[in-house]
A and B are shown apart, each in its own frame.
Chain A
């Protein structure tokens, strides 16, 4: 328990008859960057608000630094929070925005100045200190909002979709900056987002959430390469993983997924247990794990026809028809195919995913 920073135990929250979170458990290590990822309405922001103390929980406990803070006010929890809409106080200058919380806490004037100077230095907002929030750009505003959490000298930073209001270029810039901030401060950070790129790039661990339940909690590479269930597999990755519904068949010591007349040889798949013949399964293959017109050792090839080509510069996305459904394949950008071209596809089954069709869990 020593290096646990934030611990959520059996947390439940319901608004009237609607249960948003149901006996949720989560341990976050000291200095860890944890991302809560999910589509809107999955309870990720609600969970963050519970940790911040902005929402009263219905049941369960929250510990921060081994202290039970379930009934504590937000200010007594040792947290700083950054919001999607920046939430800067519009009538105060940047400096006043930063010092407001410290003034309320009756921190000494010299100490306030010292902390503001330090935060402004880290975030490079010194020239903006006298300005009002309305005179700042979106990126600058979010920097000030981060600064407001920084001056509080807290153990845990909470980010509630901090980059969602920014345009794509600023978002990627600030994303790198948040990562740099985490590397230099080494604070615990909990970060809520619906953007999988943010989640994959920033996180030490990602918690993928769906309707108030954590579907998988693991490091980004595990989440991407070995999704625990069908939801996680479909949610992570753009374009989405290709899914083929079919039936397991065992022939001549090899295993096949028979889907709509096509036999996929899945003998190379690192299965957790022995395959059962006749089991209904879903085969998932990421677009970049399919080879086009390239033989793969011990893998049969499948005939397909290019439907649409989407060149994206660095890589090229092909949409093809196979087993009566549309699927996507990612190839190098310089390899071009005209629609209507017949191609040979080979699947890298060693990195594929197979899920049970009924339970939707990984096999």
Chain B
């Protein structure tokens, strides 16, 4: 083989390999991959900024965690940045099971389960309906689809507060005011514009020929949705799920307006604990209760964060 290479080289008007190596050794100057310094000015700028910003945002969390692990006497010393001298989980237990909101003293646990009972059905129903909406709008351009879509999008820009009183009346008239079902319906409706937009854009970004091929294959509306579109759209479903879980879990306004105290979601109860005026302010319990309430969206985000980013990116490229 080497002689063939040499012949080829000669044929191509290049010097044979051996001479080339010699020539190479004498050639000075940069060669190969350009070296990069770890501590270049650019790197220091970028990482320095990132670290400072990260610390700035983590500081409140640090204070919350530290405070929640201290007893009240230690908090009264006023050193909010100091780590606890004596670690206690008492405030966490109290926040969960015995902190008082108004008259009853069973902590956040009741609010937690209420929130679960609100979030899970609202998320599932709203995603199910919105994905079918988006699919129909993107692939089955029915008469008046554009008008329907415009109305839906306009809905996304109307402030919620404007609609609260009318919705109260509507719910009262149909006998659902103050019930969990009523709140779930409200959440589902308010999630519709943005979720439909999300799904429509994602489905519109999928190759149209796939849809055509399925139609030639004889698949109808539901077969195409369940067997072609759904399996291809997992990232966008995860995105929608995160949006809905965080949105509905963190909701305060609808929870306090449309339900009775026994159905208050966790956020409303948290507010009632933190803002209760009787007795001393138990900062450690308040901090623990706040972290507990925020833990669920945080957990959902961390578990599915990777899929979330992938789904958003995919939507950005195609939509």
Contact = CB atoms under 8 A, between A and B. Distances in A.
Contacts of B214: 89, 100
B212 A54 contact: yes
Contacts, number: 60
Interface in A86-104: 86-91, 100-101, 104
B257 interface: no
Contact of B207 (A52, A53, A75, A87): A87
B95 to A, nearest CB: 45
B228 interface: yes
Interface stretch (B7-15, B124-132, B216-224): B216-224
Contact of A83 (B213, B218, B223): B213
A80 B216 contact: yes
Contact of A52 (B210, B216, B228, B232): B216
A81 B216 CA distance: 7
Given A87-B207, A89-B228, A91-B232, A104 B218 contact: yes
B215 interface: yes
Question: Range of interface residues on chain A?
Answer: 20 to 34
A54 B232 contact: no
A80 B218 CA distance: 11
A314 interface: no
A85 B232 contact: no
B212 A104 contact: no
A83 B207 CA distance: 11
Contacts of B231: 91
A90 B212 CA distance: 14
A263 B232 CA distance: 66
Given A87-B207, A90-B232, A75 B215 contact: yes
B173 interface: no
Q: Find the residue from A49, A74, A84 having the highest chain B CB count within 10 A.
A: A74
Interface string A133-168: 000000000000000100010000000100000000
B207 A101 contact: no
28 contacts: A49-B212, A54-B216, A74-B215, A74-B218, A75-B216, A75-B218, A81-B212, A81-B216, A83-B212, A83-B213, A84-B209, A85-B207, A85-B209, A86-B209, A87-B209, A88-B213, A89-B210, A90-B232, A100-B214, A101-B216, A101-B217, A101-B218, A104-B219, A104-B223, A105-B218, A148-B213, A152-B217, A160-B209
